[in-house]
């Protein structure tokens, strides 16, 4: 199982009146609610993370693993989409990633980007869209787990 994960608006809620605290690793603190929800998804599905965030190339994969560890998130494996050198919006970035590839593994996408509303159904059906000002919640983790269970059932 792969979890295509954005950070801003998912793990870090975007409240204009409050700047997130920056931790010792130089990256903002994650919302406690989002941490709990993401840990629940990972522990229930053994999902590996594929970073889609605009920050994905600012840190090495080892640094990303430490960023998650520092925030008490146990990840199995972290990879990332290629650097977005053409400055595509998130929808087009994901489409360029998925189109040339055969999808051999189940996946979900967790993101707040509104451009993803225009994804084709085979991707949009696996999208858990957060509110940028709230981030990942228990309710959304329930939806993610429902999608994951449905994908497991279809694979049988």
What distance lies between CA 134 and its chain's CA centroid? 15
Domain encompassing residue 39: 2-155
The CB density around residue 4, as the number of other CB atoms within 10 Å, is 24
Residue 117 near residue 124, CB atoms below 8 Å = yes
pLDDT single digits (tens) 31-64: 999 999 999 999 999 999 999 999 999 999 999 9
Confidence at residue 150, expressed as pLDDT on a 0 to 100 scale: 93
pLDDT single digits (tens) 95-127: 999 876 667 789 999 999 999 999 999 899 999
Any idea what the Cα angle at residue 40 is, between residues 34 and 137, rounded to 5°?
35
Confidence at residue 152, expressed as pLDDT on a 0 to 100 scale: 84
Confidence at residue 153, expressed as pLDDT on a 0 to 100 scale: 82
- Tally of structural domains, the chain: 1
Confidence at residue 92, expressed as pLDDT on a 0 to 100 scale: 95
CATH number at residue 25: 3.40.50.1000
Q: Mean pLDDT, the chain, as a whole number?
A: 92
């Amino acid at each position: 199982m792969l979890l295509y994960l954005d950070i801003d608006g998912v793990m870090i809620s975007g409240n204009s009146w409050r700047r997130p605290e920056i931790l010792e690793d130089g990256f903002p603190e994650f919302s406690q609610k989002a941490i709990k929800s993401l840990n629940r998804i990972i522990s229930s599905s053994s999902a590996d993370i594929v970073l889609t965030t605009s920050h994905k190339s600012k840190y090495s994969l080892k640094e990303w693993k430490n960023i998650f560890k520092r925030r008490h998130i146990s990840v199995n494996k972290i990879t990332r989409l290629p650097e977005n050198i053409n400055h595509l919006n998130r929808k087009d970035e994901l489409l360029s990633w998925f189109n040339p590839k055969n999808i051999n593994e189940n996946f979900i996408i967790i993101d707040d980007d509104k451009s993803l509303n225009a994804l084709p159904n085979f991707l949009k059906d696996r999208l858990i869209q957060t509110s940028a000002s709230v981030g990942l919640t228990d309710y959304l983790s329930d939806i993610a787990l429902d999608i994951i269970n449905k994908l497991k059932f279809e694979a049988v």
